[in-house]
Amino acid sequence: MERLAQKIELLLSLEKEVHYCTGCRLHETRTFTVFGMGNVDADLVFVGEGPGADEDAAGEPFVGAAGKILTRIIYALGLTRRDIYICNIVKCRPPGNRNPQPDEIDSCKKYLLTQLDVVQPKVICTLGAVPTHFLLNAKAPISRLRGRVFSFRGVKVVPTFHPAYIYRSPSKKIEVWKDLKLVEKLLHEKDSVVERDTGSAKLF
């Protein structure tokens, strides 16, 4: 219980810091910061790229159409949002829902990395190219990276398509389903030795 309380305290302090952050241009147009939410002791963390219009208005991650798809993805794993943790690389909405720029990611990455360090998940599922490229230090298309298991700081990483892409391309659901089965397998594996690295992508 003490460990859990420490995690909650650390994330609440970090969320307050994010709330007042003016580290990049995105703070100029935001309505609310979108820190992250869910189980601070989760085995599974989903990482997206940044808030959209619905998230900016609500101050919560993945609450729009893409969020509904993500919720179904979570249910398909036999879990609920209360069982997992969800966050984005950048905590403020990029104008027009564009991808975050490299300097914006660089300014905000410390928050994501601290979130991952505090939660200490067993598996990270990256949603789309932006978080996948960031965590894996990779440039290959998401279509080539998905369906495989990588390592980031000793944590297993499974890339998949962003829910917004699935919304526009329902035919990709079968590929996402395969990725989910891989995530499910990793979550139920007994703890094993994971190759440590410096943050670069390593295929198991």
| Cα(75)–Cα(21) distance, integer angstroms | 33
Residue 179, pLDDT score: 97
| Cβ contacts of 37 within 8 Å, gap of 6 or more | 60, 61, 81, 85, 86, 87
State the Cα torsion 172-175-180-182 to the nearest 10°: -170
Count of CB atoms situated within 10 Å of the CB of 134 = 21
Residue 203 reports pLDDT greater than 90: no
Residue 14 lies in a domain: yes
Residue 200, pLDDT score: 41
Residue 119, pLDDT score: 98
89: nearest Cα among 64, 118, 113, 58:
113
User: 123-127 and 155-160: which strand pairing?
Assistant: parallel
Residue 1, pLDDT score: 78
CATH number at residue 11: 3.40.470.10
The total domain count for the chain is 1
| Cα(14)–Cα(35) distance, integer angstroms | 9
**pLDDT tens digits, residue range 150-196?**
999 999 999 999 999 998 999 999 999 999 999 999 999 865 434 33
Residue 204, pLDDT score: 27
Residue 203 lies in a domain: no
Residue 201 lies in a domain: no
Instruction: Compute the average pLDDT of residues 52-75.
Output: 94
Residue 96 reports pLDDT greater than 50: yes
Range of the domain at 126: 2-188
**pLDDT tens digits, residue range 3-32?**
999 999 999 999 999 999 999 999 999 999
